[in-house]
Structure 1
């Protein structure tokens, strides 16, 4: 199964590069990208998981309604994208459930930063997809962590996919910068080794990010953004479907593993 995850948040990444962006514009950029993603998924006939901040959901309940009405999973991406407290874990879960009318069982920490697994369990999440089991300069070094699913504090951990052996990350930046044939080859290798792929993106990547003066994003982030990125996602989905790979929601994948564990006991 291929798990596509999209982190829907207030687009605050320009702040990391010394730029500012009005809040309504942060929302507008993320919303434009989310709608593009929904169109791609609908055309392909597949379902995915949208990890949303409660802050985004509060201001864009119509987008949340579109996500759930089209059969996708809503999971938590925290309360705010650039502010975190342990109490936000439960607060974001409850707020997203209130807005969507659907249970929220999954979590992904903003920027894939470490989070206390005991607090994840306490907040009632069934799974956590906040680990990139590789080394990313200036972010994290997780070579000592498992590269496939495992349990921690009774919470199923579903790391982002990396290639076998060298653990090359198969995440959003790879899709911006690598040739598509190489992405497909690496993805195929990981899928055959692990039996699944867990890939994550941000809706704002599907908008044009080349305005350096306004957004300040480096070339490796802006490369292939906007319509080229839409086309890359379409191409990847078509390739995977042609190989007979099935796409699914992260929550359904987690439920299958958890169910097998329960039956074993």
Structure 2
């Protein structure tokens, strides 16, 4: 990695409150999947549109082109929302068909067969390409639960990159040991997530930022932005930028001012911190990196930034 090409990608995960694993799509969720949720849920479900529009305004203010990882069923249930993101010139990438966990969070074993995964992901890719009018080349695993076998399938389907790997000292959401993986982009070995320098593979993994203080603290954003605050996240991003390109991410629903329905197994305090306090933290991160070159992930791949 050419450190002179260090840059930052702002990425936004477009999913609503019911997409999280305590509600849908995991081995411990209240509903087995999103289809089951909509079959039984008759109340209001859209807590996503309003904060997403505020995110678009915020990014426009900072002149940032971001990568939006979109759960494909959002296109059906939120008419016009993804189109609004496209109209602002942002990249559309794939966050799965229904945000279902592809590997079990405990055993790390596949929850779907390879053929089933590829069929679902192809469908999601087609939906997002139709609404965006552009080729969708990026993927992020729902809940960042990623297996090396998934990258082989993603490459086969036509994706150019993934951004799901989070190296830290507290948890591992992958099926690999992540040997040789840091925070800068790399080419993963075939059938795995580890880094390799002797590969003809063009597929790229964009791992997330962390702060290394003897232990590695996850600082890419998301829930950690809500629980750790902007200062630690910023330190981790700055340290990761010294290694090369890195990634910051958040969810529009992190910024929601509303109280979500009290549905879901486990994670009772998952949304205890959100709203204006998190929006202010996002602004602090963007203000603190005002001198950094921002690039969406697709442009990084297509422009060949030093990999």
Pairwise same-fold verdict (TM > 0.5): yes
Q: 2:209 aligns with which of 153, 161, 174?
A: 161
For 2:15 and 2:48, the matched residues in 1 are separated by 7
Q: 1:182 aligns with which of 221, 232, 256?
A: 232
What secondary structure does 1:150 align onto?
coil
Q: 2:128 aligns with which of 83, 96, 99?
A: 96
What secondary structure does 2:210 align onto?
coil
- For structure 1, which segment, 150-159 or 116-125, has the greater mean C-alpha deviation from structure 2 after superposition? 150-159
Gaps spanning 5+ residues in structure 2: where?
A: 1-6, 32-36, 103-116, 191-200
Normalised to the residue count of structure 2, the TM-score between the two structures is 0.73
What secondary structure does 2:211 align onto?
coil
Change (3 A) 1:209 1:96: same
- Partner deviation per Cα, 1:29-83 (whole Å, 9 max, x = no partner): 1222212211211111111110011111222241111111111100011111126
What secondary structure does 2:48 align onto?
helix
Give the Å deviation of 1:195: 2.3
Give the Å deviation of 1:166: 2.9
Change (3 A) 1:146 1:137: closer
For 1:48 and 1:95, the matched residues in 2 are separated by 20
What secondary structure does 2:233 align onto?
helix
Whether the 8 Å contact between 1:8 and 1:202 is mirrored in structure 2 is yes
2:280 is matched with 231
Q: 2:179 aligns with which of 125, 144, 147?
A: 144
Gaps spanning 5+ residues in structure 1: where?
A: none
Give the Å deviation of 1:18: 6.5
CA RMSD of aligned residues (A): 2.7
- Partner deviation per Cα, 1:200-241 (whole Å, 9 max, x = no partner): 22221111466684567543x324301111111112111210
Normalised to the residue count of structure 1, the TM-score between the two structures is 0.84
2:302 is matched with 255
Whether the 8 Å contact between 2:118 and 2:157 is mirrored in structure 1 is no
For 1:23 and 1:88, the matched residues in 2 are separated by 26
Matched residue count: 255
Whether the 8 Å contact between 1:133 and 1:142 is mirrored in structure 2 is no
